[in-house]
Every structure is written in structure tokens, then in C-alpha cells.
Amino acid sequence: MSQDILINWSPQETRVAVVEQGAVQEVHLERTLERGLVGNIYLGKVSRVLPGMQSAFIDIGLDRAAFLHVADLMPNIQAKHASPRTSAADGAAPVLAPNPVLPIEKQIFEGQALMVQVLKDPIGTKGARLTAQISIAGRLLVFLPQDNHIGVSQKIPPAQREALRQRVLRIAATTDGSATGGFILRTNAEDASDEELTEDVAYLRKTWLRIKEAASRQPPATLLHEDLNLMQRVLRDLVGAQTQSIRIDSREQHALLTAFAAEYMPDTVAKLQHYSGERPIFDLYNIDEEIARALSRRVDLKSGGYLVIDQTEALTTVDVNTGGFVGARNFDDTVFRTNLEAAQAIARQLRLRNLGGIIIVDFIDMVRDDHREAVLTEFRKQLARDRVKTMIGGFSQLGLVEMTRKRTRESLAHVLSEPCDACAGKGTVKTARSVCYDILREILREARAFSPREFRVVASPKVVELFLDEERQHLAGLSDFIGKPISLQSENTMTQEQYDIVLL
């Protein structure tokens, strides 16, 4: 499927949209003051080891300490790769022999300097997730300097993997026979020449030597290597044979990106274009409107049905509804067609909103097994287009589809918005009447503890208006009961749930 990539650049923010067949599939944002940390390599300092959690907190110079689990330490990663297969009795399939995991307190200690790489950005109240296995991504290969493993992308057909593995092994040994380290062949290297692979190997090893040299002279909590900026990552990760054009609306950035592409990714130079139209580049496909819709809970389907997407700390839920779609034949057919369209729309929304973690999809209940299987097949087909790793199960006993999508960066909603001051992220606020009754109970509580001359209620205009109208009898009754006058003061700056009781 052909795609176009649009890049909107400004000094404070870079925005990238991936468009396929006229529809926006992905949106990526990077702000100058809020650059992501994924891929960055630091010389960290172990600030605390937690044997009970088999993890450690590492100081890498951020406001919050980063998190390192025992499974992400190199001895355990190497043991996992080297797991020997045991022979099984009675013709049973061979199984992996378990490798003992060395406790974290026996591998690292507080105050130790440790080279680490960021796996996940800080999200919410959680610090960054780290790994001790360093990987450096190139145009064609990913370099694993501490490992001798040679891997090939799972997206390359199995019949070609062994031949490609042997090519990389031979080129890596030819480039520098004394150098160690492993490589993973990326998907876009399937048709690469030996010369291109050799250049990538040399570049990655040179980068690693620079990182090691910096680690030997820099103090702990220092950044040793920063990943490419968003525009450069677009060329490295998003551009493929299906990419028709890469348009950027800044002449200066177009020149810089062209120079970068000419050195590292010459095949992409011909696809780079400077956009000089009068209309903003994102207006070409109404991308700003798509971003605005991606921040709402409801997503309308072309048939008249709709999705409701709720993102919480623990998981994301997607509810499918028929809405105004009444179908043409019968109810089962109406439900089936709505679910098929929803499967396509959900996969697109996951990419567009960059939703990750646990995702629960509640399709409309289907009676026929063949309908359920067809919807699940279509959903898996659409998810297969996702660059991010996804795992999906079948329908549960409750008729729900459970899946996970790897989360490395904040979702689009978390980047562009923040919790409402009025509802603190709940999505609802107390009614004015509920607040009135809270105030009456609070005055009664205060009257039992104190004996002021007067109580003054400072609240939002809507609450004060209700006290002056429908609730005036209850307010007067409380005033008589406590034997103190109660006055009202309207405050426009207060939200509906906010109030203050002043003792005069």
C-alpha cells in the first residue's frame, strides 16, 4: 500500500503524518523542549537496589530515577539467548532448559557506574525503563556490541533468513575480524548489497567506539549517545519501498535532511521534496482535524456505527456500537458488517493515537461462529500493518478481545492534553445541588466545633444561584438551627466543585 509522509516543522515542534490512500494512519510529534529519551545511552549510577522486587533505581540525570529489572541485565539476557535444548522422552517436543537467574543484588551494587539504554520514556508517575543491553540502530542493521548474536527481522521470509544471516556474519568478520558484537538485520536490508552492509557495520562500530570512549572519561549520570531526531528517524524507520514522497515545509530543514539522507540513506534522497504551497502542509489531508478527532472518546464509522475509546492508567477499552446503522437484511448481518468496519477503524485508531499496553475490545455480540472468526481474522490482518509489536488473543468467554500493543512513548492524548482542573481527569463533576448539600453538611460540622459571628459561603456562581433559588429554604432552615447568619459570595474563578466556608 503506497504511502506519503508529510513533515510540518517549526522551531518549537516537529510533526510527522503518515498518509495511506488519503487517510492519516500515524502521527508523530517531537517538541524541542520535550524530546523523547528512547534509544538514548547513559552512564548511570545505581542509586538503590531492591532485592524484593529484583530491580534497581538508576540515576541517569533526570528528575526521577529510572527503573532497571533483573531480566534486563546482560548476564540474564545472554543466558536467555544461550538456553540449551534438552532432549524429550517418548518423542515429545524438545523444551528449553531453564537457566538460573542470578539475583540482582549479586550483580550490581549501590554507587556502581553502569552503562544503560532507555527502553521506555517516563510515563505518568513512572520513571524511564532501562536495559543494560546496548543496541545501536543503523540504516540496515542494529548493532549489539555486548552480544555475538546474529539475528534477522521476523518480517523477512523464513526461507531467506539463513542466507542473510551468513552474509552478515561474513561481512562483520571481514570488516574487522578482531571486533566483537552481534547484529540484527532490519527489514529494509533484505535487498541490500554487500557494500551497503559493510558501510553500515563500519558506521555502527565507529559509533560504539565513540560511546565507550565517552564512558571512560565522563562522570555518572551523563548522556553518552542521543538517538536521532524525529525527522532523521522517519528516514531510518518509516521510509520503505511503498513510500512515494516525503514532503517537508521548511527549506532549511529540507536541505539538512537531504544531506543526512545522502550520507546514510541515499535511496531516500529522490523521495524528499520541499513543500512550498500557500496552504499549510497538514491542510492537504485535513490532518489537524484528524488529530482533534483523535482526542475525543467517540469515533464515528461510515456506516453510522461508532466506537467509544476510554484510556485509563491500567488499560484502554474500545466499545463498538451500531449507532444509526440499521442494515439492509437482518440483525445478524448488521452486527457483522459493523464489527468488520470497526476492526479496521480500531487498528487505525491504535496507530493514530499511539495507544499501548493492555487493550480490551468489546465488539457487538455475534451469534454465528463464522462471523466471529471473520471479524477476528480481519482485525489481525489490520494489526499486521502496525510497525509496533502487537499480540492478540481470541474472543474470551465474555465475548471480549484482549490484546497488547508495545508502549514506548506517551500516547497522543497524553502529549497534547492534560487532566481538567475541574474534574481532575474523572471526566465528570458533581452537580451544583450535590455541592450545595456538601456545603450545608460542612457548615453544620463547623458550627459544632466553632462559634463565629457569621458563616460566609464562597462558591461558584451556579452553586450560589441555586442557594438563592431552589435551596434557599434549606439554607434558611440551617441558619435558624445553628443560630448564626449564613451569607453567600459568588466567585467566578472557582470551579463547580470548589467552595470555601469563611468563619467571620
3-state secondary structure 253-301: HHHHHHHHHHHHCHHHHHHEEECCCCCCHHHHHCHHHHHHHHCCCEEEC
Q: What is the pLDDT of residue 215?
A: 92
What is the identity of the amino acid at 118?
V
Q: Of 235, 240, 223, 299, which Cα lies nearest the Cα of 262?
A: 235
153 versus 371: the higher-pLDDT residue is 371
92 versus 209: the higher-pLDDT residue is 209
Task: Look at domain 3-29+229-287 and name its CATH class.
Answer: alpha beta
Write out pLDDT tens, residues 25-60.
Answer: 999 999 888 888 899 999 999 999 999 999 999 999
The band of 314, judged by pLDDT with boundaries at 50, 70 and 90, is confident
pTM summary value: 0.74
CA distance 291 to 14: 14
CATH topology of domain 432-503: Hypothetical Protein Ychn; Chain: A, (3.40.1260)
The band of 142, judged by pLDDT with boundaries at 50, 70 and 90, is very high
Write out pLDDT tens, residues 340-370.
Answer: 999 999 999 999 999 999 999 999 999 899 9
Segment 108-121 mean pLDDT: 93
The chain-wide mean pLDDT, for the chain, equals 88
85 versus 312: the higher-pLDDT residue is 312
Phi/psi region, residue 53 (left: phi>0; alpha: psi -120 to 50; beta: rest), is alpha
Give every CB contact of residue 379 below 8 A, 6+ residues apart in sequence.
Answer: 343, 346, 347, 361, 392, 401
Segment 292-306 mean pLDDT: 90
Domain boundaries, the chain: 3-29+229-287, 41-84+99-225, 295-412, 432-503
| 79 pLDDT more than 80 | no
Which segments of 139-186 does DSSP mark as H helices, in order? 158-175
Q: What is the DSSP secondary-structure string of 331-354?
A: HHHHHHHHHHHHHHHHHHHHHHHT
Helix axes 461-468, 432-449, angle to 10 degrees: 80
Q: What is the pLDDT of residue 90?
A: 44
Q: What are phi and psi of 268, to 5 degrees?
A: -90, -10
Contact between 185 and 169 under an 8 Å Cβ cutoff? The reply is: no
3-state helix, strand, coil in the chain (%, to 5): 35, 25, 35
The band of 88, judged by pLDDT with boundaries at 50, 70 and 90, is very low
Question: What does each C-alpha distance from 90 to 83, 84, 93, 98, 266 come to in angstroms?
Answer: 22, 19, 9, 20, 55
| 326 pLDDT more than 90 | no
CA distance 249 to 350: 27
The pairing of beta strand 390-395 with beta strand 272-274: unpaired
Q: Of 205, 279, 226, which Cα lies nearest the Cα of 8?
A: 279
125 versus 89: the higher-pLDDT residue is 125
Segment 275-291 mean pLDDT: 91
CATH topology of domain 41-84+99-225: OB fold (Dihydrolipoamide Acetyltransferase, E2P) (2.40.50)
CA distance 281 to 6: 7
Write out pLDDT tens, residues 185-200.
Answer: 988 787 788 888 888 8
What is the identity of the amino acid at 484?
K
| 91 pLDDT more than 80 | no
The band of 328, judged by pLDDT with boundaries at 50, 70 and 90, is low
Write out pLDDT tens, residues 380-400.
Answer: 999 988 888 899 999 999 999
Find the largest Cα–Cα distance for the chain: 95
Helix axes 331-353, 369-383, angle to 10 degrees: 20
The band of 89, judged by pLDDT with boundaries at 50, 70 and 90, is very low
3-state secondary structure 191-223: CCCHHHHHHHHHHHHHHHHHHHHHHHHCCCCEE
In terms of CATH architecture, what is 295-412?
3-Layer(aba) Sandwich (3.40)
Segment 269-273 mean pLDDT: 94
The band of 374, judged by pLDDT with boundaries at 50, 70 and 90, is very high
Q: What is the pLDDT of residue 380?
A: 95
In this chain, the answer to whether the domains covering 41-84+99-225 and 432-503 adopt an identical fold is no
Strand partners, 13: 10, 31
